[in-house]
């Protein structure tokens, strides 16, 4: 049973560039959430996708956008990169239950470095 | 304003002894709590969770206790093993409509000394 997978593992970009990160959820899961983890901090919620729509968004600017595909996989796009966007980007998948979402399971993350 | 706080950045414990990791929260709407373990260069791994209708949940060597009146939860690991050395994150969520995010603490680095 494949867990959550993310690509690429590492990425180096320069300020002002754009980046796309990819995530495939755990088998059987239909919901994908994205988190940013800066050094020494806990993960911070960016947004969550369900049924190909953004269901909830955290306190991140519009430069951060996403997409979910019919096979439940997801992309995170960041435009106009800033030095402060350097972080580990984590994807988590879960299953929407009637009373809310189930436990979120995380992928290994993509380490983004902005120079 | 941090809604989930882990006030101990690090903890060292002797192998075989009990490890106790603490977490406090301020948002009384939180009703579901989780602990994740994270090794370097890996994503967080789900350990154990507890709903606010319970005050204790056990899974093998791991037990989570919830004190709703104090807005405090703790993770007990007994006995501690060297392989438990990792960063532990406490996370919280609530099942209200429109809220699906996990709110994390900053983590506690546990070192289990052989």
Report the alpha-carbon distance of residue A94 to residue B39 in Å, rounded.
Answer: 21
Q: Degrees (nearest 5) of the Cα angle B87, A91, A78?
A: 115
Report the alpha-carbon distance of residue B98 to residue A62 in Å, rounded.
Answer: 19
The percentage of chain B sitting over the pLDDT mark of 90, rounded to a whole number, equals 83
Q: What is the pLDDT of residue A103?
A: 84
Nearest residue in chain B measured CA to CA from A57: B101
Q: How many CB pairs under 8 A join A and B?
A: 60
Mean pLDDT taken over chain B: 93
Q: Does residue A44 register a pLDDT over 60?
A: yes
The two three-digit tokens of residue A40, written as one number: 């020494």
Longest dimension (CA), chain B: 46
B101–chain A Cβ distance below 8 A for any pair:
yes
pLDDT-derived band at A1, boundaries 50, 70, 90? low
Name the residue facing A48 among B32, B100, B103 (closest C-beta). B100
Contact A47, A54 (CB under 8 A): yes
Q: pLDDT by residue (tens digit) across A75-96?
A: 999 999 999 999 999 999 988 7
Report the alpha-carbon distance of residue A51 to residue A59 in Å, rounded.
Answer: 22
A43–chain B Cβ distance below 8 A for any pair:
yes
């Amino acid at each position: 049973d494949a867990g959550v997978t993310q690509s690429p593992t590492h990425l180096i970009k320069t300020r002002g560039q754009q980046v796309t990160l990819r995530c495939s959820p755990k088998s059987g899961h239909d919901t994908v959430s994205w988190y940013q983890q800066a050094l020494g901090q806990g993960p911070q919620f960016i947004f969550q996708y369900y049924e190909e729509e953004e269901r909830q968004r955290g306190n991140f600017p519009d430069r951060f956008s996403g997409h979910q595909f019919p096979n439940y996989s997801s992309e995170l796009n960041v435009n106009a990169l800033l030095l402060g966007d350097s972080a580990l980007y984590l994807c988590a998948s879960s299953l929407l239950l009637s009373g809310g979402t189930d436990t979120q399971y995380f992928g290994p993350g993509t380490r983004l470095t902005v120079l | 304003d941090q809604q989930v706080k882990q006030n101990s950045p690090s903890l060292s414990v002797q192998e075989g002894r009990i490890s106790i990791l603490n977490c406090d929260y301020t948002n009384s709407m939180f009703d579901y709590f989780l602990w994740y373990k994270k090794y370097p260069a890996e994503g967080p791994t789900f350990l154990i969770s507890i709903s606010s209708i319970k005050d204790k949940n056990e899974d093998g060597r791991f037990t989570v206790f919830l004190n709703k009146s104090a807005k405090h939860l703790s993770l007990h690991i007994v006995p501690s093993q060297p392989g438990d050395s990792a960063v532990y994150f406490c996370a919280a969520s609530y099942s209200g409509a429109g809220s699906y995010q996990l709110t994390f603490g900053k983590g506690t680095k546990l070192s289990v000394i052989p």
